[in-house]
Structure 1
Amino acid sequence: MDLASWLSLAVICVMGALSPGPSLAVILRISVSQSAWHGALAAIAHGLGIGFWAFLTLQGLAVLMQQYQDVFSVLTVLGGLYLAWLGIKAWRYAGMSSDDSIELVSSSYFEAARDGLLIALMNPKAALFFLALFSQVIPHEMTSMIKLQLWSTVVFIDSSWYVIVALLLAGGPVLAWLKRHIVWVDRGMGSLLILLGAKVVSGIF
């Protein structure tokens, strides 16, 4: 792949990662309610989840999804329900992950990684995004090395952005303010996730 095509791919991936959405809300909540390292691990897992869709797209699954809309619809509904479940959980345990009650609800690194991974896997629209993106930049003769280059670029950019979000949020006055208002932060994030989930599901029916 030539440098110009790769730069075009990288820029579009950066813009896609920067756009706010449910992934950002989940990574933010994990970082604020647990720790920067929980958030960073969730970010890396999220990048691998996005990489999963990029890999399947390169193998042609996105084309099949366009032909079999029922599969796409089922996956989209599951993704919306998962967002709503995360939102309900945020409301239910609002503030319980603060320092004075950390023993009551302690999120493990495994759970942080799981949530980061699932929020990416439950977003089948990523496959269509990569289908549109790759069709513009990939050459007609796509070797295994080019596939690896595309996949690693997607994973690196997505993971790096959310790791930066998690680590930058882990210190300073912003985090202090958020922790003082952790109950309302949790409820706000929970409400956002519930609304996003409802929007996703309602868009199918």
Structure 2
Amino acid sequence: MPFSLWMSLVAVCAMGAMSPGPSLALVLRHTLGGGRAPGVVAALFHALGVGFYALLTVWGLGALIVRYPTLFQAITWAGAAYLAWLGIKALRAGRAGALEATGMATTRSQAAREGMLVALGNPKLILFFIALLSQFVTPDMSLAAKAIIVLTAMIIDGGWYVLVAVSLTHSRVLPWLQSRAHWIHRITGVMLLALALRVVVGPLG
């Protein structure tokens, strides 16, 4: 995979992870309720769920390219439309209620279970991966390149939420995130719209 293409994947995955939502609220709740360890566990198991969906998406899209190129093209265009819709939605999102989270009594096992379930139980996540990864998967993509895509999604997702959990136990990261949530939404929206436009113009590469 070309380095420039990988950097595009990194940037979009990072913005997707940083965008305030139920996954971030989950990590915040477990960190506030049980300390650093449950927060980190929730982050890591959420990343495993993300990796599972990414793996299914990469292999499924690869099969579609080979067997049904027309269907894959249709999915690609539908994915571009979905990314554009997500981008517009992010740009219109305000700061109110973006990062509201309260502490609760929690354990590592609860954090692990809920971290995985939030990832696997979110239907929007698989739609996002289909829309996103259809722009990166190619017919001649090697097994190593597919593994890089999956690992990139996992590491960025887990790394961001682990950073949040660790930082929250030492600083005022939550108020900082809350005060800048609208900017995170805006940056995410612009990047998603740019990716959707790039898909319309031509394949990534």
TM-score, normalization by structure 2: 0.62
SS in 1 for 2:134: helix
1:29 matched to which residue of 2?
Answer: 29
- The one-letter code matched in structure 1 to 2:30 is I
**Alpha-carbon contact 2:32-2:104 (below 8 Å) kept:** no
SS in 2 for 1:168: helix
2:152 matched to which residue of 1?
Answer: 153
SS in 1 for 2:139: coil
2:125 matched to which residue of 1?
Answer: 126
CA-CA distance at 1:51 after TM superposition: 0.8
1:108 matched to which residue of 2?
Answer: 107
Give the direction of change, closer, same or farther, for the CA distance of 1:95–1:50 in structure 2 (3 Å limit): closer
> 1:19 and 2:33 equivalent?
no
CA-CA distance at 1:174 after TM superposition: 6.6
Give the direction of change, closer, same or farther, for the CA distance of 1:143–1:171 in structure 2 (3 Å limit): same
Give the direction of change, closer, same or farther, for the CA distance of 1:136–1:35 in structure 2 (3 Å limit): same
Unaligned stretches of 5+ residues in structure 2: 65-70, 76-101, 176-205
> 1:46 and 2:50 equivalent?
no
- The size of the alignment, in residue pairs, is 141
CA-CA distance at 1:124 after TM superposition: 2.1
- The one-letter code matched in structure 2 to 1:171 is H
Deviations 1:126-165 (A, max 9, x none): 1221112112122321221111110000000000000011
2: CA distance, partners of 1:8 / 1:96: 37
SS in 2 for 1:20: coil
2:189 matched to which residue of 1?
Answer: none
Structure 1 segment 33-182 matched on structure 2, within 5 A: 33-60=33-60, 97=105, 107-172=106-171
TM-score, normalization by structure 1: 0.62
**Alpha-carbon contact 1:56-1:127 (below 8 Å) kept:** no
1: CA distance, partners of 2:128 / 2:104: 37
2: CA distance, partners of 1:119 / 1:156: 17
Give the direction of change, closer, same or farther, for the CA distance of 1:136–1:174 in structure 2 (3 Å limit): closer
SS in 2 for 1:136: coil
**Alpha-carbon contact 1:53-1:124 (below 8 Å) kept:** no
Give the direction of change, closer, same or farther, for the CA distance of 1:149–1:42 in structure 2 (3 Å limit): same
- The one-letter code matched in structure 2 to 1:15 is M
Give the direction of change, closer, same or farther, for the CA distance of 1:141–1:174 in structure 2 (3 Å limit): closer
**Alpha-carbon contact 2:17-2:156 (below 8 Å) kept:** yes
Give the direction of change, closer, same or farther, for the CA distance of 1:141–1:113 in structure 2 (3 Å limit): same
Give runs of ≥4 in structure 1 deviating > 4 Å: none
